[in-house]
Structure 1
Amino acid sequence: MKTKQMILASAAAVMMLTLGACDKKAEGQVVAVVNGEEVSLQELNAELAGQQVPDSVDKKQLMKEVLQRVIDRKLLVQRAREQGIDKDPDYLTQQRRLDESLLVTMLGKKAAAGVKIPDAAAIDKFIADNPQMFTQRTVYTLEQLQFDVPPNPERLKALEKDKTLAAVAQSLDSLGIKYARGNSAIDSASVPPALLKQILALPAGEPFILPNQGKLYASVITGQRANPTPPEIARPAATQAIRQRDLAQVNTNTLKQVRDAAKIEYQAGYEAPAKAGTPAAAAPGAPAAPVPDAPAVPAPTN
């Protein structure tokens, strides 16, 4: 009897859920209902967030097109759940990683909202302290050799003796490391001042090696062009650069605080390395170091 009551109760619950789904209507803040699943106006607006929509575009028609994409996605998601994919361990692992990334991103946005806008004195000081970004901004043309980091980076120590790009090419040939030749340029506004100072201190024609996006680049400066940042652009650019710097410091402090307060246990063999962030290879003449994204300074103009 009890079992029968439980079955009846379960059946009633399913019926109530089904009726509830049928009762959902596309009205008010609900722009569509897909097999009982609502699509809200807020969700639709989130799909459009960040998109550059020209003024000439029919906004209402665009919303309809975007809504169809949302509906198509929800239909495929529902099919995936029917097949049990949402219970797959690989899915659950990736879902957790995406959730964590989203939380970190939103934590960063919250921190950015708390970073103060610098006053005029701070902006003037920043411009004066960073002439390579403003009054003395320069574009340096480069001749380069691009190559992959070998499985044993220690082999690249052989390049430390090379004083010309041709010598680097010969060393790479002798090591059996393939490379590609090319030309590029660096903007003094995008290079850390200390690193730029080391590069410019090298004798003319002596190469330096820097990693970038998983590759190594052996480069020599072949020319330069002055490109000072216009005064009307300098102050907004300095403002943004100061806020980026301050936000980076906030994030660094936050990470240090949570690490210091955390209890972290490692399985044997997975301990943190003794020294993190070691460059993949040393550079002849100048130490290897990643070149960060350019500060908020507009690209050079001819």
Structure 2
Amino acid sequence: MLHPGAEPFSTHNKDLDKMAQRLINPRISLLTAVVAAALLAACGGDKGDKASQTAAKVNKEEITVHQINFVLQRQPGLKPEQAEAASRQVLERLIDQELAVQKAEEQKLDRDPRVVQQIEAAKREIIARAYIERVGESVAKPSNDEIAKYYNDKPALFKDRRIYSLQELQVEAKPEQFETLRAKLDASKSLNEFVEYLKANDFRFTGNQAVRPAEQLPLASLDTIAKLKDGDSLVSAAPNGVSILYLVNSRSQPVDEARARPAIEAFLLNQRKTEAVQKDLKALRDTSKIEYVGKFAQPAPAAASAPAPAELPASDAAAPAPAASGLDPASISKGMGLK
């Protein structure tokens, strides 16, 4: 069965991607406390003086426990039992970094215009991110009713969840060739037969395949893909031709509401934070004087062609289904536009 006019198998929400990167892993604070306690004990306990916070001295400069903790906070996959070994590895890297900084300052590289520009750019980004995080902190968590409604409204993601074995072809073709390709694909007994037709008629194409659970597919395309039966295809126009998504086979693997709840709550909360930030920035733009200068004062040129739909990562073997024994918030976030 052919489904012409289906939306391209593509694109994640970039705004949600950015917001998700700023979420804090709840295990970080516990891990930091464990590391801090271990390091302070190694330093002889917290005696209230600066020495108790010093992990190493590099010439005249000190590296502190707080610096080590800050680096560890950016490694959310770390387990508490790994804290001691990880803290020592971090300390060695900080020592190397301090040596490089001291030598760079000796050579006055910190005054190099390019370095100064990078420092200022990083500073602006950090401050802006802090403000955006502050805006997000005011957002309320979704209620139990909202979580239940989302679960019931997305059967393809939960109640009727499936694991999909997919193949994708990107075929270079002219618009007048689209219908011929659709008809040939519909008449082909298999995708391999269609591929042989492309080769015989000198069509240029690329292909890849992957096994993906529902939560790792683009959320905007999931309902369309969920309607496919094994052997069905989706055909859509691409900037340079035609994109074809072929469902080799699939298997049912539903997820109950109890297992889905943490991932749904995280997604809805992230979505609200994104909306709050966008609303706040719009209000700031509306109340600020923004003047475009020079070439930027001119109307923007016509938009370039949209990029081709994102391809599935090539895979020689089936990728593991991370949510097979439970719904992993990290994996579901990929399909929901989060990372």
Instruction: Assess same fold via TM > 0.5.
Output: yes
User: In the alignment, what sits opposite 1:3?
Assistant: none
CA contact (8 A) 1:143 1:183 kept: yes
Higher-RCO chain (CA-CA 8 Å, sequence separation at least 6): 2
Q: CA deviation at 1:158?
A: 6.2
User: In the alignment, what sits opposite 1:280?
Assistant: 307
User: In the alignment, what sits opposite 2:167?
Assistant: 143
Q: 1:221 aligns with which of 240, 247, 250?
A: 247
Aligned-partner residue type, residue 233 of structure 1: R
User: In the alignment, what sits opposite 1:94?
Assistant: 118
User: In the alignment, what sits opposite 2:20?
Assistant: none
Distance 1:190 1:265 in 2: 40
Alignment of 1:34 with 2:58, yes or no, is yes
Question: Pairwise mapping of residues 54-203 of structure 1 onto structure 2 (< 5 A)?
Answer: 54-57=79-82, 59=84, 62-145=86-169, 157=175, 160-161=178-179, 162-163=181-182, 164=185, 166=194, 170=198, 174=202, 179=206, 181-191=207-217, 194-199=220-225
Distance 2:272 2:232 in 1: 37
- Select the structure of larger CA radius of gyration: 1
Report the 3-state secondary structure (helix = DSSP H, G, I; strand = E; otherwise coil) of the residue aligned with 2:211: strand
User: In the alignment, what sits opposite 2:324?
Assistant: 301
Report the 3-state secondary structure (helix = DSSP H, G, I; strand = E; otherwise coil) of the residue aligned with 1:131: coil
Alignment of 1:244 with 2:270, yes or no, is yes
Q: CA deviation at 1:117?
A: 1.9
Distance 2:237 2:281 in 1: 27
Residue 218 and residue 185 in structure 1: after superposition, are their counterparts in 2 closer, same or farther (change >3 A)?
farther
Q: CA deviation at 1:76?
A: 0.4
Q: CA RMSD in A?
A: 4.1
Q: CA deviation at 1:92?
A: 2.6
TM-score by length of 2: 0.59
Report the 3-state secondary structure (helix = DSSP H, G, I; strand = E; otherwise coil) of the residue aligned with 1:183: strand
Aligned-partner residue type, residue 145 of structure 1: L
Residue 178 and residue 47 in structure 1: after superposition, are their counterparts in 2 closer, same or farther (change >3 A)?
same
CA contact (8 A) 1:132 1:189 kept: no
Distance 1:93 1:141 in 2: 48
Q: CA deviation at 1:57?
A: 4.4
Alignment of 1:268 with 2:295, yes or no, is yes
Query: Which structure 1 segments of 5+ residues have no match?
Result: 1-24, 282-287, 292-297
Deviations 1:22-64 (A, max 9, x none): xxx96133333433333232112112224344454472x6544
CA contact (8 A) 1:199 1:208 kept: no
User: In the alignment, what sits opposite 2:279?
Assistant: 253
Deviations 1:160-217 (A, max 9, x none): 433236379839x857x562x3321344334455533445668964444699xxxx96
Deviations 1:138-179 (A, max 9, x none): 2222112368xx9xxxx77567433236379839x857x562
CA contact (8 A) 2:228 2:247 kept: no
Report the 3-state secondary structure (helix = DSSP H, G, I; strand = E; otherwise coil) of the residue aligned with 1:228: coil
Distance 2:177 2:120 in 1: 43
| Aligned positions, number | 253
Report the 3-state secondary structure (helix = DSSP H, G, I; strand = E; otherwise coil) of the residue aligned with 2:55: strand
Residue 183 and residue 76 in structure 1: after superposition, are their counterparts in 2 closer, same or farther (change >3 A)?
same
CA contact (8 A) 2:208 2:311 kept: no
Residue 54 and residue 119 in structure 1: after superposition, are their counterparts in 2 closer, same or farther (change >3 A)?
closer
Residue 269 and residue 231 in structure 1: after superposition, are their counterparts in 2 closer, same or farther (change >3 A)?
closer
Distance 2:177 2:245 in 1: 13
Distance 2:169 2:51 in 1: 61
Deviations 1:105-135 (A, max 9, x none): 4334333433222221121111112222211
